[in-house]
Amino acid sequence: MTESAFIHRFEPATSAGSPPLLLLHGTGGDENDLLGLGKMISPGSALLSPRGRVLEHGMPRFFRRLAEGVFDEEDVRRRARELGDFVTEARQRYGIAAPVAVGFSNGANIAAALLLLKPDALAGAILLRAMVPLSDSPKAELGGKPVLLLSGQADPIVPASNSAQLAALLSQAGASVTHKVLPAGHQLSQADVTLARDWIGNVAAEAA
C-alpha cells in the first residue's frame, strides 16, 4: 500500500452474502474497537477497520477539530480523501466490494464526509451519533445509497437539529436515508445494535 495506508485490521468474510464493512471508531478508539460491533450487526461480513491518523491529546481521531463540535473543515476534506484512497487500495488488496461504513461519533462524521466527497468509495453507511461534517457541503450524487442514521435523544454532543440537518442533506444528495432518534445519549445502546443488524440484513437481501 502507499503512504496513504492506515494502520488497520482486516478480517475476511465467512459468508458470501454479507456486505463488507468499513469500521470507523470514535475519538480515542483504534482499529480493534468496532470489530465486535461489526460481528454483531453483520455476522459473516469482511471487516476493514482502520485507525484514525490524527492525534488529539494522544487519542486517535479521523480529523482535527478546533473545539467540541467545531471541525477543521479543510482537514475533514483532506482526511476523507485519504480514507477514500485507502478504501480503494484495500479493496484491490483484499478483493472486496465497496463496503458499508459503520461509524461511531468521529468515525460517523468522517463516514458522512466520505459519502459527500467520494461517494463511490462506499456502498452505504450506518452513522451512529453523526453530525454534519461540512458547513459548505459539496453537491454529491448518492444515487439511492442506503444510509441508516441513529441519533440519541439525550445526546449532549450532537444537537437534534444537527442530526436532522444531516439526514436532510444526505436525502437531498439522493441517499435513501432512514433516521431514527433513540432514547439514549452519545453512547451506543442495544437498540443501536438491533436496528443496525436488521437494517443491514435488509440491505444485503435487496442486493441479492
CB 166 within 8 A of CB 130: yes
Q: Is 179 tagged catalytic?
A: no
CB 104 within 8 A of CB 24: yes
Q: Is 186 tagged catalytic?
A: yes
Share of the chain above pLDDT 70, in %: 98
pLDDT tens digit sequence for 105-158:
999 999 999 999 999 999 999 999 999 999 988 889 999 999 999 999 999 999
Given 49, 105, 137, 151, which residue is catalytic? 105
Q: Is 137 tagged catalytic?
A: no
- At the top level of CATH, the class of 8-207 is alpha beta
pLDDT band at 1 (very low <50, low <70, confident <90, very high): very low
Global pTM reads: 0.96
Given 8, 72, 186, 189, which residue is catalytic? 186
Rounded Cα distance, 202 and 94, in Å: 25
pLDDT tens digit sequence for 57-66:
999 999 999 9
Give the phi and the psi of residue 196 in degrees, each rounded to 5. Answer: -65, -40
Given 33, 85, 155, 192, which residue is catalytic? 155
Can you say how many angstroms the Cα of residue 13 is from the centroid of all Cα atoms in its chain?
Answer: 19
The structural domains of the chain, with segments of one domain joined by +, span 8-207
Q: What is the pLDDT of residue 17?
A: 85
pLDDT band at 33 (very low <50, low <70, confident <90, very high): very high
| Alpha-carbon separation of residue 162 from 101, 130, 158 (angstroms) | 20, 9, 7
pLDDT band at 4 (very low <50, low <70, confident <90, very high): low
Cell of residue 207, nine digits: 442486493
| pLDDT > 60? residue 73 | yes
